[in-house]
Structure 1
């Protein structure tokens, strides 16, 4: 991992947050605990230190959930210790913590159901069969480059970008393992395509899910980002494809087929997505209820496959075992981030950050820069911080931040889970430096996607207060208790 972006990020935090706090120190604030209080500044320092460990995950091999979970605990303990001095009672602290729990639990249940479906498809050899069919298609290297990228773009909206990248990365490595250049370019293309595809669907990335569940963008409105996302994928893909030869790879054959129940898992997965959307659109219920209903469908299917089987190993389809294989490090990391940021929000730092960034630079510049920052910082804390700030933005701007945080991570290999995973799978062939060589082209794709969004969706860029007929002033309650669950 290149340490220079990390040092730059740390320096900006160490200077920016305390500076904003000092500036607000003498101003009137709606938060009883002053931003310049030593305990409040200590909480900021704890968050920064915990996130340094997250950014160093690949070097120190510590799962990213551990430091942020500890950091969240320390932040809330500190708040509880200094709260009595400012007449903040146990009930107010309890309510603030419970609000964070509501935000986390809705996302946890949604993601747990989604991850279990992905694991079930892997267990039933759905993705392995797709990989073999693609390998046996007889495509040349350039066609394979486009096929893997295109499939990544259209698979990522329904599967997560990490799973998509690993599936197609296996195809790339199987056919081009002796061609270092082909592997590197194809991996970059798959990472870019998977991230771009995930940006126009609530199911494609955790950040888009957060925006949907927060009620900032309606489910069917994500389609407005389809063309900007496609532009983000196609611009660098066209440039990189010119350096891919049309040679035929060595033929490979592998006897893999979808196991019993696999096709029904696919069908139930689509039904589960429809159920979650219907719950939210027609019934006004949170989407996680629909996802958990879908998980019950899968549990019943696995029971049916087992009791009607013939005792073969492939009939041992245990969904509860697949739940254990969920990405628990990611889910617990998400807990740490939500409770850390909600703690800083309780202290008023999210309002300070909002006024310093969105107030000074404006929504467009801030959203574009936050997308760039997601190439160094994980896009989950970036998006949750924005939702916690709850800036008064138009629908156009909420789509913009969804786009930029979704695709911004493609600019560096460490900017997304897909890139990090493929670096591990293709060690020595797809590296940080091989990705960095093509960063200028990826930046061009990022800029083109933003341009496409302004060109196509620019008519939506109407100030929110003009639409609502209200003041652009933030409500203290919205910033104090950010609403993530729908």
Structure 2
């Protein structure tokens, strides 16, 4: 490969990364930047290797493998996000929140309830939806800016922590699982240390919160078809885990089956005829911006693997023990989006035990919470909460680093104890 081409491709990857980090400065959507540069980089690979049949075939094989991996991830996310989009539009999620809320509640108690809800909900739904729902509730309370920022900080950390233990909750967890690095049941071990870290953060953030808040509770109409679709969503999650453990069935297949079941339930109850919007239309309202961002990033990472640049990442694991390197990767994910970072680590061919892969799963899933720009949840929260800025969030970075470190050490200790 010409050295000039390699430098150009690395430069494109760096520009894409800067586009993600500086999205709010340059005002260009990160999905557009990464998708353009990801596809353009592969076009350059094809063009510059067209004169050499062997290299051309190698590029073609690499691209086909890359696209196959992306397709599996995409289809899984489409199915999961369609479920959540429907349930959110029908007010089912809001009803669940209000089911556990009191009309008058102390700020301290509300902080802990918010942490628990975010932790549980984000393991079932995507981080963006969980953040949007939680932030909307917080903004309706009309708290002071300082207290709102505290709540938003807790939401970001709790949402990211809740997603690490289930493949439905975090993209990086799903990516690591799809590469057969961790077992689906062993992943659930991460929920205990992750929950402890979230509760510890809630304790630290609750200092000085002594007032009482009034909550306006509304109930949305619940139809039988909505209850059945909600039950189908939960059954899909459970059956995905059971089917993978017993029969090795890929999660994407079970979630596509679940989504198809949802469509048939709506048709059986004539919901499509009674509503202005057909249930199939909910596929169009999911976060395609997020999906396109993942597509662009994974194309870029696949390109970097093709030109063997990812070998440099392995060197950290040659110098440091995997447990320390994984911890640092989590810290790094607060500045570099955890999706490309995880994809790069998986493509680099790092050899670790399952316990160490579980530690990495926690690290890259939660480490992005250390800075507000380090995760999709942080970006969404910052766009919705006026007082939440890079600086206001950074005031809690040391506290976040402390609870992240405790959660990581606990997750590694538990994994080593159970898996040896």
- TM-score (ref. length: structure 1): 0.82
Correspondence for 1:471? none
Distance 1:243 1:415, change over 3 A: farther
Contact 1:364 1:397 in 2 (8 A): yes
Deviations 1:284-326 (A, max 9, x none): 23211111111101111222333597x4xxx445221110011
Deviations 1:195-221 (A, max 9, x none): 111111111100001111111111101
Larger CA deviation: 156-165 vs 107-116: 156-165
Q: How does 1:303-452 map to 2 (within 5 A)?
A: 303-306=267-270, 311=274, 315-316=275-276, 318-354=278-314, 356-428=315-387, 430-452=388-410
Instruction: Give 1:108's match in structure 2, choosing from 74, 77, 81.
Output: 74
Instruction: Give 1:173's match in structure 2, choosing from 139, 153, 156.
Output: 139
Question: How many residues are treated as equivalent by the alignment?
Answer: 420
Correspondence for 1:10? none
Correspondence for 1:484? none
- Separation of aligned partners in 1, 2:307 and 2:416: 35
- Structure 1 position 281, deviation (Å): 2.5
Distance 1:146 1:39, change over 3 A: same
- Separation of aligned partners in 2, 1:277 and 1:251: 37
Distance 1:178 1:350, change over 3 A: closer
- Separation of aligned partners in 2, 1:68 and 1:161: 20
Instruction: Give 1:162's match in structure 2, choosing from 128, 131, 134.
Output: 128
- Structure 1 position 421, deviation (Å): 1.2
- Structure 1 position 149, deviation (Å): 0.9
Q: How does 1:58-457 map to 2 (within 5 A)?
A: 58-84=24-50, 88-175=54-141, 177-245=142-210, 247-306=211-270, 311=274, 315-316=275-276, 318-354=278-314, 356-428=315-387, 430-457=388-415
Distance 1:329 1:105, change over 3 A: same
- Separation of aligned partners in 1, 2:189 and 2:101: 33
Distance 1:253 1:341, change over 3 A: closer
Contact 2:49 2:55 in 1 (8 A): yes
Contact 1:152 1:193 in 2 (8 A): yes
Contact 1:191 1:410 in 2 (8 A): yes
- Separation of aligned partners in 1, 2:208 and 2:379: 23
Helix, strand or coil at the partner of 2:346 = helix
Helix, strand or coil at the partner of 1:91 = helix
Helix, strand or coil at the partner of 2:6 = helix
- Alignment gaps of 5+ in structure 2: none
Distance 1:278 1:250, change over 3 A: closer
Deviations 1:118-164 (A, max 9, x none): 00101221122234445544221111111111111111111122211
Q: Which structure 1 residue ranges, 4+ long, deviate > 6 Å from structure 2? A: none
Distance 1:183 1:83, change over 3 A: same
Contact 1:350 1:388 in 2 (8 A): yes
Distance 1:267 1:85, change over 3 A: same
Larger CA deviation: 253-262 vs 200-209: 253-262
- Separation of aligned partners in 2, 1:129 and 1:88: 59
- Structure 1 position 84, deviation (Å): 4.9
Contact 2:266 2:272 in 1 (8 A): no
Correspondence for 1:27? none
Helix, strand or coil at the partner of 2:105 = coil
Contact 1:47 1:340 in 2 (8 A): yes
- Structure 1 position 193, deviation (Å): 1.0
Contact 1:116 1:319 in 2 (8 A): no
Helix, strand or coil at the partner of 1:282 = helix
Helix, strand or coil at the partner of 2:104 = coil
- Structure 1 position 86, deviation (Å): 5.9
- Alignment gaps of 5+ in structure 1: 1-32, 463-486
Contact 2:21 2:373 in 1 (8 A): no
